[in-house]
């Protein structure tokens, strides 16, 4: 019986500490000088290359061997959309046909990349376009960190200063891969992004919150709240049934850094003065700040964003009661930048193309005898 060959190990799926050790053992087995390890390792994340063959400081034979033993997987940019406000949306296509999205958001000297942790999402929040996709699969660590890597490969000057896990999927339902990705993002031999500049957003997956709190780095936690009363939250977010709001807030108390509440304002659903007063009580209990986000138009059919006047009044009501509230303006309104929206739009176009092709290839029934 022929044994199936073991697939090459991806260094990009390991923490920087693990990948350095793997390269050290590999170099030693081939009698390479020790300085080669650092020379190779920096090409993973610190000064990344798309292919080992691009590392022209290395001998050609060594590059060929690295390509064979440690191929560097890539994300393929199927669609890139640039907004008039500078926001850029990426739809990455994966080898198995699945897709994920990232959004690059410039703001002064800050360049924030919003990344995905899953292809699709199983949680079904009513205001989220990704929820309409359903869950496809978890992303591997290299696919998560690779979103940052691809942006840098395209233009090193656009290396993100901040990373937020607010793209497709629930990061804490893919904790093993997210755990490794956090190390890659933060480690000095990875991308070297400070922990305080990396935010993990969750609907409140308590086991994952506990695991994140155990990490020594001070990563920031954002809780997707969107309603301050349990029944109201359940209507917007089915996960409320499994992880009740009271228990989520209790788990959040174990974080050493200030917690942020994410609150999408939806007209007539969660934007009344009474809603604001309930939110004040929750925010005060944790010393949390509140990010108020207008619902992205087109991201959730059947729901409408709160008006500008209502958003301002809601924010002012929070501030007047001692809660720090920031209104985040919608970015990328002209490029389908809501989470999951680009994927949904691209899939619609593909289906329409298939239908039109089918019609074009079918017999002209008006000229048939039947």
Core vs surface per residue 5-27: b (16+ CB within 10 A) or e: eeeeeebbbbbbeebbebbbebb
- The pLDDT of residue 352 is above 50: no
Same domain, 62 and 83: no
Report which secondary-structure segment, H or E, holds 220: strand 220-224
State the total domains in the chain.
Answer: 2
What is the H or E stretch that residue 102 is in?
A: strand 99-107
- 203/227 Cα distance (integer angstroms): 11
Give me the mean pLDDT over the 51-74 stretch. 97
Residue 174: give the domain boundaries: 76-349
Does residue 64 sit in the same domain as residue 177?
Answer: no
Indicate whether 60 and 109 sit together in one domain: no
Q: Which of 54-58, 224-228, 261-265, 341-345 has the lowest mean pLDDT?
A: 341-345
> For the purposes of burial, counting CB atoms within 10 Å of the CB of 313, is it exposed (0-12), middle (13-18) or buried (19 or more)?
middle
Residue 369 lies in a domain: no
Q: Is 3 within the bounds of a domain?
A: no
Q: How many CA atoms lie within 13 A of 317 on its CB side?
A: 18
Query: Do both 154 and 43 map to the same domain?
Result: no
Report, as residue numbers or ranges, the catalytic residues.
Answer: 101, 339
Q: What secondary structure does DSSP assign to 268-291, as a single string? A: TTS-SHHHHHHHHHHHHHHT-EEE
Q: Are 62 and 94 contained in the same domain?
A: no
**162 and 307 housed in the same domain:** yes
Q: What is the mean pLDDT of the chain?
A: 89
Q: What is the CATH number of the domain that holds 39?
A: 1.10.150
Residue 359 lies in a domain: no
pLDDT > 60? residue 361:
no
**Residue 53: how many CA atoms within 13 Å on its side-chain side?**
4
If one counts every other C-beta atom within 10 angstroms of the C-beta of residue 349, the result is: 11
CATH number of the domain enclosing 261 = 3.20.20.70
Question: Could you tell me if 53 and 187 lie in one domain?
Answer: no
Whether 360 maps to a domain, the answer reads no
Q: Are 18 and 123 found together in one domain?
A: no
Q: Using one digit for the tens of pLDDT, what is the confidence trace for 278-309?
A: 999 999 999 999 999 999 876 677 889 999 99
Beta bridge partners of 101: 91
Segment 259-268 shows an average pLDDT of: 96
Answer yes or no: do 50 and 102 share one domain. no
**Final residue of a structural domain among 38, 54, 69:** 69
Residue 358 tokens read as: 């089918």
Distance CA 315, CA 20 (A): 48
Do 41 and 86 lie in a common domain? no
CB 181 within 8 A of CB 144: yes
């Amino acid at each position: 019986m022929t044994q199936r060959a073991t697939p090459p190990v991806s260094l990009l799926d390991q923490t920087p500490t693990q990948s350095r050790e793997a390269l050290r053992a590999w170099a030693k087995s081939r009698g390479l000088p020790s300085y080669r390890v650092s020379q190779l390792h920096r090409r993973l994340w610190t000064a990344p290359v798309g292919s080992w063959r691009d590392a022209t400081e290395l001998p050609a034979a060594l590059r060929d061997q690295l390509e064979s033993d440690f191929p560097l997987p890539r994300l393929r940019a199927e669609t890139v959309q640039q907004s008039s406000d500078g926001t850029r949306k990426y739809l990455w296509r994966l080898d198995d046909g699945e897709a994920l999205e990232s959004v690059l958001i410039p703001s002064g000297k800050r360049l924030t990349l919003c990344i995905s942790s899953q292809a699709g999402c199983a949680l079904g929040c009513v205001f989220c376009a990704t929820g309409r996709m359903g869950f496809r699969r978890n992303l591997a660590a290299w696919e998560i960190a690779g979103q940052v890597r691809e942006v840098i490969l395209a233009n090193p000057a656009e290396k993100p200063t901040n990373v937020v896990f607010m793209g497709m999927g629930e990061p804490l339902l893919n904790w093993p891969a997210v755990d490794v990705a956090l190390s890659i993002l933060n480690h000095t031999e990875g991308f070297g992004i400070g922990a305080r500049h990396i935010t993990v957003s969750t609907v409140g997956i308590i086991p994952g919150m506990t695991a994140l709190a155990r990490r020594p780095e001070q990563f920031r936690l954002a809780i997707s709240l969107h309603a301050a009363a349990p029944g109201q939250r359940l209507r917007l977010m089915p996960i409320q049934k499994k992880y009740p709001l009271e228990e989520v807030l209790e788990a959040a108390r174990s974080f050493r850094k200030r917690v942020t509440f994410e609150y999408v304002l939806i007209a007539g659903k969660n934007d009344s003065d009474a809603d604001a007063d309930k939110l004040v009580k929750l925010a005060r209990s944790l010393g949390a700040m509140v990010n108020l986000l207008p619902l992205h138009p087109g991201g959730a059919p059947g729901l409408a964003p709160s008006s500008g006047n209502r958003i301002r009044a809601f924010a002012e009501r929070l501030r007047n009661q001692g809660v720090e509230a920031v209104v985040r303006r919608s970015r990328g309104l002209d490029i389908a930048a809501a989470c999951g929206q680009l994927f949904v739009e691209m899939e619609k176009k593909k289906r329409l193309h298939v239908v039109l092709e089918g019609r074009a290839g079918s017999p002209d029934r008006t000229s048939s005898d039947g």
